[in-house]
């Protein structure tokens, strides 16, 4: 029986951790309702649904808990998460973490612009390099709560960056605001739609 230890990075300073055990075998059965959108192996069947395969169990578990608590909102996920108890969320997170992400492809016309933002940021508007937190290949850092980005759907990435930007610009609960210490909101507050599109395409073409 496969077990995964989920490490949750606390918001305050990212220093405290809490351990919770997820059972990947049990999670496969419990994840049946997730397959319609995220695929049986965690590779999404539609561009607006994220790939979950290979994502750290700790990050998946945190997102599910945030949906459950209303800290992150999505009409579909709000309904799907409602019947799940804490153990089910741990097990489902563990299952998807054991799956293998399928390589994505980027639009060649946007790779150069996207790479420049991902690797170097945009200094004049205060946008940091994505790789500073998510790594040069987009592998992330589960120990401190930074998610895997490699081969993620570009449409999904675009939507999330715009949601963070909306929240940052309105200084409210509108958009997405479950990032630690407003890190993503601060990063994308002044970024433009074409810049978001370019970096999202670059991320889709990254392979861990």
State pTM to two decimals.
Answer: 0.89
* Domain 108-204 classification at class level: mainly alpha
Domain spans of the chain?
Answer: 3-97, 108-204
The pLDDT score that the predictor gives to residue 19 is 45
Q: Supply the CATH classification number for the domain 3-97.
A: 1.10.760.10
Q: What are the structure tokens assigned to 145, written together?
A: 């709560």
| Same fold? 3-97, 108-204 | yes
The pLDDT score that the predictor gives to residue 8 is 29
Residue 8, phi then psi, degrees to nearest 5: -100, 120
Sign (positive/negative) of CA torsion 81, 170, 46, 132? Answer: negative
The pLDDT score that the predictor gives to residue 20 is 54
- Measured distance CA(51)–CA(90) in Å, rounded: 17
DSSP 8-state symbol, 54: T
The pLDDT score that the predictor gives to residue 7 is 30
The pLDDT score that the predictor gives to residue 130 is 98
The pLDDT score that the predictor gives to residue 46 is 96
The pLDDT score that the predictor gives to residue 10 is 27
Residue 19, phi then psi, degrees to nearest 5: -105, 135
Residues of the chain with pLDDT under 50: 2-19
């Amino acid at each position: 029986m496969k077990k995964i230890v989920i490490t949750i990075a606390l918001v305050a300073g990212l220093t405290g951790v809490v351990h919770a055990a997820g059972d990947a075998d049990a999670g496969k059965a419990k994840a049946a309702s997730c397959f319609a959108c995220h695929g049986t192996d965690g590779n999404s069947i539609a561009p607006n649904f994220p790939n979950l395969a290979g994502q750290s169990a700790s990050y998946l578990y945190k997102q599910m808990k945030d949906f459950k608590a209303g800290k992150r909102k999505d009409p579909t996920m709000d309904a799907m998460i409602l019947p799940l108890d804490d153990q089910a969320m741990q097990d489902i997170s563990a299952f998807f973490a054991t799956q293998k992400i399928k390589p994505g492809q980027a639009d060649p016309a946007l790779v150069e612009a996207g790479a420049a933002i991902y690797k170097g940021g945009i200094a004049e508007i205060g946008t940091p390099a994505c790789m500073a937190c998510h790594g040069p290949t987009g592998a992330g850092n589960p120990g401190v709560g930074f998610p895997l980005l490699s081969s993620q759907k570009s449409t999904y990435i675009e939507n999330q960056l715009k949601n963070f930007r909306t929240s940052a610009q309105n200084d409210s609960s509108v958009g997405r605001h479950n990032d630690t210490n407003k890190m993503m909101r601060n990063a994308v507050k002044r970024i433009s739609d074409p810049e978001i599109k370019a970096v999202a395409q670059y991320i889709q073409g990254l392979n861990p």
